[in-house]
Structure 1
Amino acid sequence: MQQQVSPTNATQGAMNMNHGGHELFDVHEVLGCAINAMDQYMMLRQYVQDQELLKILDKQYQFMQSQYNVTAECFKTGQEPSQKTSTYLINEVLPPVYGLKPSQPKKPMQSISEINDAGVCAAMQGLVKSHCSLLTMSALETTNPVVRRVLAAQVQNFIEMSYELFMYQNKRAYYQVPQLAQADMQQMVNSFAPATGTPQMPQPNKGAALH
């Protein structure tokens, strides 16, 4: 007598296979990039001197770990993860400091003893920005609706993490923000006008079949 497959197992198996080809490769890259970022955070931690930067590093590491686990789970099962995607919150949002201050020209390090907080923070910033871009591109290629939403939900959080690092860098003049002259800035800001009225859209091509 042929054994019957329960609907639950059949449904679960179908959900597990609910991934497109691009999605499989892209999410593999997302998870690999997340591991790489966390591993590099761990390696960078020993060089941190400032306690504020150390708190940021630990907080971001913990967040990345939680989102890695959520992503890996829903990718494996094709279903809603047991934990929801978290929201990354910045403790205090500071206004940016504009303008350039005199500083020494940058150059590559000549020995590991030259590693400092500025370099550590710049490395963290690069990792966060790269992962944020990868999450965005991968979400656009993901067919599984659960995985797509999990990836997309993380983008805003990594933007916040990047801004948190920017604030730390900007406050210490590691990341300076130049501005244009006021007249030039005003001209750039006023370069666009709102679209008003009802646009006169062309009629569809009558020779083309519309379905």
Structure 2
Amino acid sequence: MAAQYGAHEVMEVHEVLSDTIDGINQFQLYRPHTRDQQLRGILDKQIQFMTQEYNNMVQTINQRGMGQAVPYRPVRTASPVYGLDNPGTLTPNSSLNEMDDRDVASGMLGCHKSSATMRMIAALECADPELRRIIQQGAINCAEQAYEVWHYMNQKGYYQVPTMQEMTTSTMMNTYSPATMGEVRPHQFQ
């Protein structure tokens, strides 16, 4: 009898599920240190979604053909703020009591960035199309959750976006132009 999943798939799913558990646990550790109600709302929504996504993947591997790739729906309210506005100096906290909303949001952002990368790499190792689709959607979900946290940080001034002089930006962006397509000929096999 053939195996249900390939060796790479099994190992990658193991890594993704372990990472998801770690992320949920990490976010639960952040909760008592979250003071801002907006950030707490994001944190709670993301813990709930991550838990549902975990359960969906477990169901998919245990009951083949039963899972769905569910997209994360972030709430966005404003455009990003560009430019630096006197950013403060950052140093590690000397105790757990110093952890604040910026620390929580930064930890959440780092978790999602890392998880998005891991999931995309895992998806590239999947032969099973359903499992591949669920893991790909998981990578996209992590990217959306990261952007939601980044957006919060940007609006609060915790994550500022440096810019270049307009001349430099324009020069860099206008360096590229569309490619022209030559005649494409089918490859002849002999």
CA offset at residue 153 of structure 1? Answer: 1.8
In the TM superposition, what whole-angstrom CA distance separates every residue of 1:11-43 from its partner, at most 9, and x where no partner exists?
Answer: xx86xx321111111110000000000001111
* 8 Å Cα contact 1:18-1:144 kept in structure 2: no
In structure 1, what is the Cα distance between the partners aligned to 2:183 and 2:107? 48
The equivalent residue for 2:144 is 160
Q: The residue matched to 1:174 in structure 2 has which SS?
A: coil
In the TM superposition, what whole-angstrom CA distance separates every residue of 1:121-169 from its partner, at most 9, and x where no partner exists?
Answer: 0001111111111110000001111111111122222211111101100
1:27 aligns with 2:13: yes
Aligned pairs, how many? Answer: 190
Moved more, 41-50 or 145-154: 145-154
Cα 1:103/1:94, change in 2 over 3 Å: same
- Per the normalisation by structure 2, the TM-score is 0.92
1:139 aligns with 2:123: yes
1:180 is matched with which residue: 164, 170, 173?
Answer: 164
1:75 is matched with which residue: 61, 67, 78?
Answer: 61
5 Å-filtered alignment, 1:88-167, equals 88-167=72-151
In structure 2, what is the Cα distance between the partners aligned to 1:96 and 1:199? 42
- Which letter maps to 1:80? G
- Which letter maps to 2:15? E
- Which letter maps to 1:81? M
Q: The residue matched to 1:86 in structure 2 has which SS?
A: coil
Moved more, 151-160 or 34-43: 151-160
1:171 aligns with 2:152: no
CA offset at residue 202 of structure 1? Answer: 10
The equivalent residue for 2:69 is 85
Structure 1 residue runs of 5 or longer lacking an equivalent are: 1-12, 205-209
* 8 Å Cα contact 1:99-1:178 kept in structure 2: yes
1:66 is matched with which residue: 33, 36, 52?
Answer: 52
* 8 Å Cα contact 1:80-1:146 kept in structure 2: yes
In structure 2, what is the Cα distance between the partners aligned to 1:170 and 1:197? 41
In structure 2, what is the Cα distance between the partners aligned to 1:55 and 1:132? 21
What percent identity do the matched residue pairs reach? 33
In structure 1, what is the Cα distance between the partners aligned to 2:60 and 2:24? 20
In structure 2, what is the Cα distance between the partners aligned to 1:93 and 1:194? 34
* 8 Å Cα contact 2:87-2:160 kept in structure 1: no
CA offset at residue 112 of structure 1? Answer: 1.4
- Per the normalisation by structure 1, the TM-score is 0.84
In structure 1, what is the Cα distance between the partners aligned to 2:171 and 2:182? 27
Moved more, 112-121 or 90-99: 90-99
Structure 2 residue runs of 5 or longer lacking an equivalent are: none
In structure 2, what is the Cα distance between the partners aligned to 1:202 and 1:118? 56
Cα 1:199/1:190, change in 2 over 3 Å: farther
The equivalent residue for 1:197 is 181
Aligned-CA RMSD value: 2.0
